[in-house]
């Protein structure tokens, strides 16, 4: 499971701004890859787990550090 350090709001905003620049330049894949480095909000992970499944959530490349911090590693391994 991901064990990334907590990211500040400024760091998350910088990632979002850089991703927007990449999209504007036509690099959709680069923007998507970059956005996945910012922690996925736990409430979105909960919805994704319910709607598309745990396997997708774990294998899609999202930074799950905040999810693990809020729900625990057991939540990320339980179906």
Whether residue 69 sits in one domain with residue 44 = yes
pLDDT string in tens for the chain (79-residue length) = 444 568 999 999 999 999 999 999 999 999 999 999 999 999 999 999 999 999 999 999 999 999 999 999 999 998 7
Residues 63/38, Cβ–Cβ less than 8 Å: yes
How far CA 68 is from CA of 18, 48, 76, 79, in Å, comes to 26, 14, 7, 15
Note down the domain range covering 65: 39-79
Whether residue 76 sits in one domain with residue 43 = yes
CA distance 30 to 36: 10
Instruction: Name the domain count of the chain.
Output: 2
Whether residue 32 sits in one domain with residue 47 = no
Whether residue 29 sits in one domain with residue 58 = no
Whether residue 44 sits in one domain with residue 30 = no
Whether residue 71 sits in one domain with residue 44 = yes
The pair phi, psi for residue 39, each rounded to 5°, is -60, 135
Whether residue 43 sits in one domain with residue 30 = no
Whether residue 79 sits in one domain with residue 46 = yes
CA distance 73 to 61: 16
Q: Which residues contact 47 (CB under 8 A, 6 or more apart)?
A: none
Q: Is this model's pTM higher than 0.75 or not?
A: yes
pLDDT of residue 4: 55
pLDDT of residue 45: 97
pLDDT of residue 6: 81
């Amino acid at each position: 499971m991901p064990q990334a350090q907590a990211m500040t709001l400024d760091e998350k905003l910088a990632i979002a701004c850089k991703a927007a620049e990449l999209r504007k330049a036509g690099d959709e894949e680069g923007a998507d890859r970059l956005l996945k480095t910012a922690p996925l909000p736990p409430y979105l992970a909960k919805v994704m787990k319910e709607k598309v499944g745990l396997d997708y959530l774990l294998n899609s490349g999202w930074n799950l550090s905040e999810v693990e911090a809020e729900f625990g590693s057991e939540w990320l391994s339980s179906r």
